[in-house]
Amino acid sequence: MRTMAGSAALVVAAGFAQARPQNAHIPTETVLYNFKGAPDAGYSLAGLIFDHKGALYGATVKGGTADSGAVFKLTPPAAGQTRWTETVLYSFTGGNDGSQPWTGLIFDRKGALYGTTVKGGTADAGTVFKLTPPAAGQTQWSETVLYSFTGGDGNNPQAVGLIFDSDGALYGTTTFGGTSNLGTVFRLTPPAAGQTQWTETGLYSFTDETDGNYPLAGLIFDTGGALYGTTYRGGTSNLGTVFKLTPP
C-alpha cells in the first residue's frame, strides 16, 4: 500500500509538471506610468518606496518645472480602474533647494520624505532635503534643505539613499569631497528642542587608494551601531573595497 500511494503521488506530480506551461516562469511586465519630461518628471535613477496605502514614491534626475529633477508619487487605481495616477510632489529649481536627485527616498514616522541631490545648494555641491506632506485641506508639499554641502565636507551625494538611526539622525555618503576629495561618510543630527538647524558631522574622509575612494553606495547598520558600505575604487587592486566604520 505504501508503494502504491507513493506511485500515485509521483503520477500526480508528473501530471502537474506536464500541464505547467513552458513560459510559466516568465514574469509579466506592466508599465504603470510613462514619464513625459518637464514639467513632468523624467530620467529616474533611484528606487521606489511604498506608503501604507500602496502608493509609490520616487525621484527623477531631470524633469519638473525647471528640468532640474522632481519627486513624484504614483497612486494605485481606484476599484474597477486600471490606471495609476502620477503626481509631481516637488520640482527642484536648480538653485539653493537642490538639483538632480539621483537617489531613493525614505520616510520618517510622520510621512515626511528625505533624500539627497547631487547638485544645487549654496555651494552647488549637493543637498540633503526633507519634503513635508501638506497640512489638512492643502495639496502642496513643502521642501526644506536640511544641509548644503560645501565641497570640503562632502560633494555629490550619489549613494542609494539615506538611513536613520534610532535617534532620528541621518547617515549617508558623498562620492567626492572630504580632506582628499575622495569621498566621505556623514551624519546629520536633528535639531535640539526649539531649534531648526540640523548638524552635519563628517564621520570619515577617504584618504588614498588603501582605504578606498569614491563611495557610490548607501550604508547599513549592524546591531552594535557600526556602519558598513562599499567604495567604487581604491583598495589593493584599485577595484573597490568593503568597509566598516566602528563608532567611537
Separation CA 142–CA 111 (nearest Å): 12
CA distances from 10 to 3, 15, 35 (A): 11, 8, 50
Separation CA 67–CA 65 (nearest Å): 6
pLDDT at 111: 95
Query: How is residue 87 annotated by DSSP?
Result: E
Within 8 A by CB and 6+ apart from 6, the residues are none
First to last CA, the chain: 68
pLDDT digits (tens, 9 = 90+) for 144-187: 999 999 999 999 999 878 999 999 999 999 999 999 999 999 99
What percentage of the chain reaches a pLDDT higher than 70? 90
Separation CA 140–CA 163 (nearest Å): 25
pLDDT digits (tens, 9 = 90+) for 190-211: 999 999 899 999 999 999 878 9
Task: For the full predicted model, state whether its pTM sits above 0.85.
Answer: yes
Separation CA 16–CA 2 (nearest Å): 21
Separation CA 58–CA 72 (nearest Å): 6
Cis link prior to 27 (omega < 30° from 0)?
no
pLDDT digits (tens, 9 = 90+) for 71-81: 999 999 999 99
Q: β-strand 113-117 against 106-107: which pairing, if any?
A: antiparallel
Q: Is the pLDDT of residue 33 over 70?
A: yes
pLDDT digits (tens, 9 = 90+) for 88-147: 999 999 999 999 999 999 999 999 999 999 999 999 999 999 999 999 888 899 999 999
Here the cell at position 150 is 560645501
